[in-house]
Structure 1
Amino acid sequence: MDALKVADYMNRYPVTFTADMPVEMAVDRLLRARQTGGPVVDSQLKIIGFISEQDCLQRMLMSTYHDQQASRVTDVMNSAVLTVKAYECIIDVAQIMLKAKPKLYPVIDDDGYLLGIITRSDVLAAIDKELRSHYRKVS
């Protein structure tokens, strides 16, 4: 299973966000893409943060209660981003996912530039595919 690499199962075209984007626009992108969160990137696609459905929901609820003006992604994003590398083993990523909260992780290169994302579902599918191939060999 060491041959299972993130690069083989990641989404290379994730929905991304910019820091100055209105939260409402971020929500629209998340909903359309059916993505639970996503990387916030600068103009060179270097990761500067992460925004989740939970971040957006919290801000939108707060806005309704306090009748506040629209917020920007920079106001709600998390600057401490858990990331993985494309060359990492899926099994290692699965173990990280068991301990850490995010359901998806940005995949970056060694310089911090976005290459894609990988979700729990992607990791589960990769492991399932590998296990099924072993079951067929045994049968």
Structure 2
Amino acid sequence: MSIESIKVRSCMDESILPLTKDTPLIVATTALCKNKLTGLPVVDSHMHLIGFLSEQDCIGKILNESFYGYSDASVADVMKTDTITVSPEMSIIDLAQQMKANRPRIYPVIENEKYLGLISRTDVLTALKQHIKKMRSTHI
């Protein structure tokens, strides 16, 4: 198997549940911290991506509200709506090259306008590392 044939679909994490715009921000930040993620997708009731919530988006609002001892903010209050996404059919090589040039560390994977999962830099590095191991073992 060539490295060019490895697709995002085979490396993405389908277990990460998205947020909704009505999710309380404190619940969303708990999910980010618990799962050690830098961001989570935000979807509507049909699993269409409507935004993305990053740690950076949360910090200012949570910091401000921590002075008051409560937070009534929701994901909609701080999420970004201009989200970079990838296709499950994208090559891992193409995504790795894109990740070198762009800032996001994690991308929602979208097919037919619906959220399927997430792929992170760690997922891409793992796929590349596994490919190198396979290549080495077949050349011995």
Normalising by structure 2, we get a TM-score of: 0.91
Q: Alignment identity in percent?
A: 36
CA contact 1:51–1:73 (8 Å) conserved in 2: yes
Q: How many residues align?
A: 138
For the aligned residue pairs, the C-alpha RMSD in angstroms reads: 1.6
Structure 1 partner of 2:139: 138
Alignment of 1:44 with 2:46, yes or no, is yes
Structure 1 partner of 2:90: 88
Instruction: Please tell me the residue identity of whatever aligns with 1:77.
Output: M
Shift of 1:37: 0.9
Structure 2 partner of 1:16: 18
Structure 2 partner of 1:63: 65
| 1: CA distance, partners of 2:34 / 2:135 | 36
SS at match of 2:4: coil
Name structure 2 gaps, 5 residues minimum: none
Runs of 4+ in 1 over 4 A off after TM superposition: 65-69
- Once the two structures are superposed, the pairs formed by residues 110-121 of structure 1 within 5 Å of their partners are 111-121=112-122
Q: Could you give the per-residue CA deviations for residues 61-99 of structure 1, whole angstroms, max 9, x where no partner exists?
A: 122357785211111101000100001100101111111
SS at match of 1:49: strand
CA contact 2:108–2:119 (8 Å) conserved in 1: yes
Name structure 1 gaps, 5 residues minimum: none
